[in-house]
């Protein structure tokens, strides 16, 4: 065992399905300036308004998918941790959450106290966004600097187009792809358009044409979440041998009135059902572990919506979770980092 730890970081979860715990979690999440990128007074007012009714609604949703062991996202991340412990040969493998427990600052402090001197920080997000990757990396750097922790940090970059990731995605989905289905929908988490526009290094590319992502150069593509999602979908479809027309892409989980990236998943579900699709597969490649956005938003509400619109069957393809090939792929990616 050496002094080089691997730290897997995921989004996080409420401590329980109680309304107070959900309110506490949502407050921490929504008050992150990388999530709601508005000035603090405006953000505080907006989040306070959201917290009037949303915690009770979200608590009900969490309760519908909660496992005996706890939050699916946390349980599955711990299972991945166990799988990675057999892969990572340089030191301990730990997990942390950006929001909730185990808290990222506490885990970093404990690693330093235990004598760890190097940390490979692995944000478990295939595609780049400020609201996922940047907020994790910046918090880690802030904690190391402010607490003067003797830690050298290396960061796993987004791996949306890496062969190891695509191959793991294909292998994890293959059993479901072998069943009879009419269409595969790849539903990625959405973002407000302004999140992409403010990162556009040219200042004049994003959303200037319908195919802007296809025309994006390396500089734009490095920070464009939508372009990276479309690249993941295209590479997966090619590797799986899916013909054009058999698959499509959408974006889920809108919040508020701002314009979010399209097409919207809820709109796409209706369109597919009305177009005659009866048996629909849905994957969520922006997530590596199943969570409320996959299990409840797609697996429950999405299925109900699709059937009400005229479809017959919606099957949610599980995320990578602790699939053996995913653990092997992640280890390879972290070795490169």
Q: Is 248 within a domain? A: yes
- Give the per-residue pLDDT at 258: 86
Show the tokens assigned to 6: 């691997």
How big is the chain, counted in residues? 337
Strand-pair category, 183-189 with 152-155: unpaired
Q: Within this chain, do residues 279 and 184 fall inside the same structural domain, yes or no?
A: yes
Q: Within this chain, do residues 188 and 121 fall inside the same structural domain, yes or no?
A: no
Q: Is 335 within a domain? A: no
- Give the per-residue pLDDT at 1: 53
Q: Where are the beta strands (DSSP E) in 124-277?
A: 152-155, 183-189, 247-252
- Give the per-residue pLDDT at 192: 95
- Give the per-residue pLDDT at 177: 86
Q: Within this chain, do residues 150 and 248 fall inside the same structural domain, yes or no?
A: no
Q: Within this chain, do residues 200 and 248 fall inside the same structural domain, yes or no?
A: yes
Q: Within this chain, do residues 85 and 147 fall inside the same structural domain, yes or no?
A: yes
- 3-class DSSP state of 163: helix
Q: Within this chain, do residues 173 and 261 fall inside the same structural domain, yes or no?
A: yes
Q: Within this chain, do residues 294 and 276 fall inside the same structural domain, yes or no?
A: yes
Among 99, 127, 158, which residue terminates a domain? 158
Helix (H) or strand (E) holding 121: strand 118-123
- Give the per-residue pLDDT at 2: 77
Burial class (CB in 10 A: 0-12, 13-18, 19+), 96: buried
How would you write the pLDDT of the chain (337 residues) with one tens digit per residue? 579 999 999 999 999 999 999 999 999 999 999 999 999 999 999 999 999 999 999 999 999 999 999 999 999 999 999 999 999 999 999 999 999 999 999 999 999 999 999 999 999 999 999 999 999 999 999 999 999 999 999 999 999 999 999 999 999 999 998 889 999 999 999 999 999 999 999 998 999 898 899 888 999 999 999 999 999 999 999 999 999 999 999 999 988 888 999 999 999 999 999 999 999 999 999 999 999 999 999 999 999 999 999 999 999 999 999 999 999 999 999 999 9
Number of domains in the chain: 2
Q: Is 241 within a domain? A: yes
Domain residue limits at 85: 4-158
Of 93, 129, 104, nearest to 322 (Cα)? 93
- 3-class DSSP state of 6: strand
Q: Is 47 within a domain? A: yes
* CATH number reported for the structural domain that contains residue 38 in this entry: 3.40.50.1400
Q: Is 203 within a domain? A: yes
The pLDDT tens digits for 185-242 are 999 999 999 999 999 999 989 998 988 998 889 999 999 999 999 999 999 999 999 9
Q: Within this chain, do residues 26 and 102 fall inside the same structural domain, yes or no?
A: yes
Q: Within this chain, do residues 170 and 215 fall inside the same structural domain, yes or no?
A: yes
- Give the per-residue pLDDT at 210: 86
Q: Is 141 within a domain? A: yes
- 3-class DSSP state of 152: strand
- Give the per-residue pLDDT at 216: 87
- Give the per-residue pLDDT at 288: 98
The pLDDT tens digits for 313-336 are 999 999 999 999 999 999 999 999
Among 124, 158, 192, which residue terminates a domain? 158
Q: Within this chain, do residues 308 and 175 fall inside the same structural domain, yes or no?
A: yes
Q: Within this chain, do residues 278 and 219 fall inside the same structural domain, yes or no?
A: yes
Alpha-helical runs (H) found in 150-224: 163-177, 193-197, 218-221
- Please give the Cα distance from 152 to 192 (Å, whole number): 34
Q: Within this chain, do residues 140 and 208 fall inside the same structural domain, yes or no?
A: no
Q: Is 249 within a domain? A: yes
Phi, psi of 5 (to 5 degrees): -90, 155
The H helix count followed by the E strand count for the chain is 13, 8
């Amino acid at each position: 065992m050496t002094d080089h730890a691997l730290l897997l970081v995921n989004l996080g979860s409420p401590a329980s399905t109680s309304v107070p715990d959900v309110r506490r979690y949502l407050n921490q999440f929504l008050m992150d300036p990388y999530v709601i990128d508005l000035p603090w007074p405006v953000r505080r007012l907006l989040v306070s308004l959201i917290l009037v009714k949303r915690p009770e609604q979200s608590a009900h949703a969490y309760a519908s998918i909660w496992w005996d062991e706890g939050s699916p996202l946390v349980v599955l991340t711990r299972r991945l941790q166990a799988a990675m412990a057999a892969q990572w040969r340089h030191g301990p493998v730990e997990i942390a959450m950006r929001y909730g427990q185990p808290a990222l600052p506490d885990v970093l402090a404990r690693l330093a106290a235990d004598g760890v001197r190097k940390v490979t920080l692995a944000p478990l997000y295939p595609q780049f966004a400020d609201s996922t990757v940047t907020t994790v990396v910046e918090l880690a750097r802030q904690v190391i600097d402010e607490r003067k922790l003797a830690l050298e940090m290396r960061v796993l970059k987004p791996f949306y187009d890496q062969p190891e990731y695509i191959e793991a995605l294909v292998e994890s989905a293959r059993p479901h792809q072998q069943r009879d289905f009419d269409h595969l929908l790849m539903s990625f988490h959405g973002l407000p358009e302004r999140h992409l526009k403010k990162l556009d290094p040219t200042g004049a590319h994003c959303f200037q044409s319908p195919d802007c992502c296809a025309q994006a150069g390396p500089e734009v593509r490095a920070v464009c979440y939508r372009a990276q999602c479309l690249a993941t979908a295209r590479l997966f479809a090619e590797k799986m041998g899916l013909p054009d027309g058999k698959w499509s892409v959408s974006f889920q989980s809108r919040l508020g009135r701002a314009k979010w990236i399209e097409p919207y998943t809820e709109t796409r579900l209706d369109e597919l059902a009305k177009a005659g699709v009866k048996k629909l597969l849905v994957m969520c490649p922006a997530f590596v572990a199943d969570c409320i956005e996959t299990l409840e938003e797609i697996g429950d509400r999405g299925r109900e919506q699709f059937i009400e619109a005229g479809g017959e069957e919606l099957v949610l393809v599980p995320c990578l979770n602790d699939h053996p090939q995913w653990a092997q792929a992640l280890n390879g990616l972290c070795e490169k980092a």
